[in-house]
Structure 1
Amino acid sequence: MAVLAGCGQKPAASPAENGNTNVAESSSAPTESADAQQGAGNAPASIAPSGQPSSSEDASVSANAKQTESIKLYYADKDFMELKEATRDISYEASDNTSKYKAAFEGLQKSGSDDLISLWEKVQLLSVKFANGEVTLDIHMPDEARMGSDGELMALDSLQKTMFQFDEVQSIELLVDGKKLETLMGHADLLHPMTRN
């Protein structure tokens, strides 16, 4: 691991790469705090070059760069009758192949609206992995996170719609406390893995 020290110059914010500077605070703030808890948010998003940076400085800056993306997230309506789509911005470490899926899941946990109910709010995300087109989410399901059969089906549907919007995701493996369970909340069969239709 390389540690870089500055020459007394302060980091400066750079303009967004895609020109979109409108970032929703409600979805990016939780992601940043989660990254900070893991120690990934220690470096600034970008550093204004002073003179000619070395290639190791370039690699370090780009490896720690945050990427922002608008995605679709799915929540229950306030009557728990149907899923509603909402577009939110997420921020994640471009160099970490799992942080995008973690940010998407964290987006499912907070709707940011009184008219939309999060189906994953009380679920604890333990880990995220991505390999060979499969996202593996390991969660902890406290008793207060359990819902009836309609809520369980809607939660699974919201997770699939959210994750399968990423072209590289071909399947989702959902584990509860590291185990493949037959059902998430006791009502609907849980496929291992869930695949694109």
Structure 2
Amino acid sequence: MKQIKTVLAVFLVLSVVLVAGCSSNTDNKEQAGQQNGQITANDQAKPEKAAPDKKAAKNIKMTVYFPDENGQKLIAAERTLDISTDDKYTAAIKALLQGPKKGEGIAIIPAGTKLLGVTVNKDGLAEVNFDNTFVKKFSGGSTGEIMLVGSITDTLTNFSEVKTVRFLVDGKPLETLSGHLDLTTPVTRMQNIL
């Protein structure tokens, strides 16, 4: 009989400890949720809101250039570039690919051209790499070639660190677009068409 009383006493003590522990754990959760102000109507803690996206939009303003309707000069067009996902050079060329708005001139980069990348080295050389649509679908003559090369070159040399531009197609240096301009050496800013 004494053993039964001892077993019952131990069982009673363990039950009290177990119930007290569970109650304490629930109280701790409620206190943590209340400190964060996150208790709902049924006293369940809500998950915390996700932290804001670290890739929040970062914008810069810059000038890009499109040829005028007569192919005599380039027209400056202001753009706000989103550089949260692309570097500023890539964003600038993508703005050219999107084309001009009304009154900003004409689109000169052949439709369907894909930008494969833009890099700028420590010497200020920008390399712009397009897919082969850039050459295959170009249909302009000497004036169109000057306007196209000038549009890209003058847009990129707006960045003070960019001094010259080299054109690549599918990763290989472009020698000429349609036989009128020598592109074997990097192109400097074409101030005469601005």
| CA pair 160-115 structure 1, distance change in 2 beyond 3 A | closer
Match of 1:89 among 49, 63, 80: 80
Counterparts of 1:131 and 1:168, CA distance in 2 = 9
Distance 1:129 1:156 in 2: 17
2:48 corresponding residue in structure 1: 8
Structure 2 partner of 1:129 = 119
Distance in 2, Cα, partners of 1:191 & 1:66: 37
Please report the RMSD computed on the Cα atoms of aligned residues, expressed in angstroms.
2.4
Counterparts of 2:56 and 2:126 in 1: how far apart (Å)? 22
Which segment is superposed worse, 180-189 or 160-169?
A: 180-189
Higher share in helix: 2
Match of 1:155 in 2: 148
TM-score, length of structure 1 as denominator length: 0.61
Query: Contact 2:166–2:183 (CA<8 Å) still a contact in 1?
Result: no
Q: In 1, distance between residues paired with 2:132 and 2:103? A: 23
| Corresponding residue SS for 1:161 | helix
Separation in 2 of the partners of 1:182 and 1:107? Answer: 25
Shift of 1:130: 2.5
In 2, distance between residues paired with 1:106 and 1:180?
20
Identify the residue that residue 100 of structure 2 maps to in structure 1. Answer: 111
TM-score w.r.t. length of structure 2: 0.62
Q: Distance in 1 between matches of 2:57 and 2:159?
A: 18
Alignment of 1:15-34 (within 5 A): none
Evaluate the alpha carbon distance shift between residue 193 and residue 116 of structure 1 in structure 2; reply closer, same or farther with a 3 A threshold: same
Q: Is structure 2 residue 171 aligned with structure 1 residue 178?
A: yes
Change (3 A) 1:115 1:159: closer
Is the 1:174–1:192 contact (alpha carbons within 8 Å) kept by the matching residues of 2? no
**Unaligned stretches of 5+ residues in structure 2:** 1-46
**Deviation (angstroms), 1:148:** 1.1
Q: How many residue pairs get matched?
A: 139
| Contact 1:78–1:115 under 8 Å retained in 2 | no
2:181 and 2:119 mapped to 1: Cα distance? Answer: 24
- Unmatched 5+ stretches in structure 1: 1-6, 13-43, 45-60
How far the C-alpha of 1:154 sits from its partner, in A, is: 0.9
Q: Separation in 2 of the partners of 1:195 and 1:121?
A: 22
**Relative to 1, partners in 2 of residues 1:106 and 1:148: Cα closer, same or farther, differing over 3 Å?**
same
Quote how far apart the aligned CAs of 1:139 are. 0.9
Which residue type is aligned with residue 8 of structure 1?
E
Q: Matched residues, percent identical?
A: 30
Shift in alpha-carbon separation, 1:91–1:153, aligned structure 2, 3 A = same
Letter in 2 for 1:108: L
Matched, 1:139 2:127: no
Q: Which has the larger radius of gyration?
A: 2
Runs of 4+ in 1 over 3 A off after TM superposition: none
